Structure 1
Amino acid sequence: MPTPSPSAEPGPAAGTGPRHPAAHVLAPLGHAAPADNPADTSPYAFPDGGTWRTEVPSVEGPEALATVFKEAGRLDVPIHRVSQGSGVWMLSDTEITEMVESCAERDTELCLFTGPRGTWDIGGATRSDSGGGGLRARGQEAVAGCVEDALRAVELGVRCLLVADEGVLWLLHRLRTEGALPAETTLKVSALIGPVNPAAYEVYERLGADSVNVPSDLTLDHLTQIRRVSRAPMDFYIEAPDDLGGYIRMYDAAQLIRRGAPLYLKFGLSRSPGIYPYGAQLRETALNSARERVRRGRLVLDLLARLGADGGMSPLGSRLPGELRRFPLPERTN
């Protein structure tokens, strides 16, 4: 593993990882877990020194957000970020402003999805067996719609944008660099286009990503491979929605942090109906699933505590990723 770049904060000390589940009773029976390899421990952390943060996804509007915060208060679940999946265009200015203000009061980052996506477009390929281009923006008009969403969102105070297209990501990064978007805006890559190998992960970082969703079926070794080439924060569904496989990785949470840091633990929900694009017809489902996502988060936090792995969480209010590597910007054409 390479020496971390000067901009990278040090990760946990080698050899000081969490205990393995039931290790104290299995070892005497000859079933001890293999010792952690210090070389597998990520050398990176967030700028605040923490190795992990929390995220509640699929929070589709002010009412769902209020439900999340109420349940988080009841169960004592710290939330660093909430994200929305239907898109900026599915919210009114008043709704966005209410969400921005509510998150600011609780030191929580709000992330909204940008623009049109191929799965809702008129193109037939996304409904074929191949899946076509998936969520990516089809044509210049869709790209422009994503950028329009981004401009509107930041004007209303949003400082994190969720992106599902590599070209849109690159354009938003250029606009951020040139000042058209606030410099502190962060760009988050959607799980539906998440990379599955180190080379692709590095490309997303260089295109402007500040955190990158990876599929929840990646192995612990895959995470270590990614950390050998990139320090960009990783987003990981501890429980994935059914359309992302429905995987439940709760017992891997401690090792996911150790090997994938800096990492956002995403409290998803399997066996739950899809709610994108959200509307009032899905209200009860959205509110019930929002409440249950927070409860799932409490279960993960309790497990981490039992394994001695609950240390290293970033303080609330932390949101920036630290210095990352980017592709050189092209010269602007007049």
Structure 2
Amino acid sequence: MTRDELAELMAGLGHRLPDPVAASGAAFADGSPYKIEIPSVEGPAVLAAVLEEADRLDVRIHRTSQGSGVFMLTDDEIRQMVKLGAERSIEVNLFLGPRAAWDIGGQAKATHAVGAAARGNEMVAACVNDALRACDLGVRSLLVGDVGVLSVLGRLKAEGRLPADLVLKTSVLMPVTNGPTAAVFASLGASTLNVATDLTVQQLGEIRAATGLPIDLYLEVPDDQGGFVRMYEAAQIVRAAAPVYLKMGVRNAPNIYPVGAHLEATAISLGRERVRRAALAVRLLTELDPGLARA
């Protein structure tokens, strides 16, 4: 049943739904209002499993992102991921460098709010080194968790020392929560913006009004970022925020960063389930609003 049909049914019962949100009127270059991102794709084995599951469930995946960091992958692993992505026209995104949560500092142990910060210039330099290495190996999409690092990478990109087509994706650990912040991140060189997981549809519309950059939003949110499951909001979210990447986390799942062989089976299992969650979300979104072109 479409949302319009549901609204008519509920109104007949005396329980009117809110009016539909205003459509952003924007889309990706190919005309799609939304695309699907699978996060926590930590290496080539996980990526291969995600692609296999996407084929089985007939889900089009547009981007995968990784959380353990460039420096936790070998050159060969990165090359394999780049190759798989190129073969399927999928954007392969890798997280940069060490971060506060893994460092010797104490604040990040007490709160997630600073977990992705780069503590000191040495850590900023490590992130820059990760970026240069990843780009040399063919990566063209990097996940940035620190405002200063974003500024430095934006400058290097503008000066031609990083590829002009390099995507700088901001992290949910550095969340955009309002239009002015979105505009600041855009001015620093961001290519795509991770927003806070708990924003209302109206607040997403405010961010869309402030920038034309794609918005990245968890539709199902990991427990350490709130644990929300927002699938029934998908159509309203896409209308307000397009162009938007819908990210599929998994509730009740372990934190697997940094991944290694000791956690590979878990990472693969979670990757497959994220694709299944995406299939559920696309089905529901299409039912609620058939006018939204399938990504």
Q: Same fold (TM over 0.5)?
A: yes
Aligned to 1:158, which of 126, 136, 139? 139
Deviations, residues 287-322 of structure 1 (Å, cap 9, x unaligned): 1111100000000011012113463345xxxxxxxx
Deviations, residues 129-161 of structure 1 (Å, cap 9, x unaligned): x66733110011100000000001011111000
Alpha-carbon separation, structure 1, partners of 2:165 and 2:279: 30
Determine helix, strand or coil for the equivalent of 2:210.
coil
Other-structure match for 2:9: 25
Other-structure match for 2:32: 50
1:94 aligns to 2:60 (yes or no): no
Gaps of 5+ in 2: none
Aligned to 1:177, which of 138, 145, 158? 158
Q: Partner letter of residue 9 of structure 2?
A: V
Q: Partner letter of residue 86 of structure 2?
A: A
After TM superposition, the score normalised by the length of structure 1 is 0.84
Gaps of 5+ in 1: 1-17, 315-334
Determine helix, strand or coil for the equivalent of 2:46.
helix
After TM superposition, the score normalised by the length of structure 2 is 0.95
1:305 aligns to 2:289 (yes or no): no
Alpha-carbon separation, structure 1, partners of 2:99 and 2:219: 25
1:134 aligns to 2:115 (yes or no): yes
Aligned to 2:62, which of 80, 89, 113? 80
Shift of 1:48: 2.5
Counterparts of 1:1-334 in structure 2, within 5 Å, are 19-20=3-4, 22-37=6-21, 40-128=22-110, 133-309=114-290, 311-314=292-295
Q: Partner letter of residue 87 of structure 1?
A: G
Percentage of pairs with the same residue:
51
Q: Partner letter of residue 257 of structure 2?
A: Y
Q: Partner letter of residue 3 of structure 2?
A: R
RMSD: 1.6
Alpha-carbon separation, structure 1, partners of 2:157 and 2:291: 35
Kept in 2: contact 1:240–1:247 (CA 8 A): yes
Alpha-carbon separation, structure 2, partners of 1:60 and 1:68: 11
Alpha-carbon separation, structure 2, partners of 1:206 and 1:85: 24
Alpha-carbon separation, structure 2, partners of 1:209 and 1:310: 30
Shift of 1:228: 2.1
Alpha-carbon separation, structure 2, partners of 1:34 and 1:125: 42
Q: Partner letter of residue 76 of structure 1?
A: D
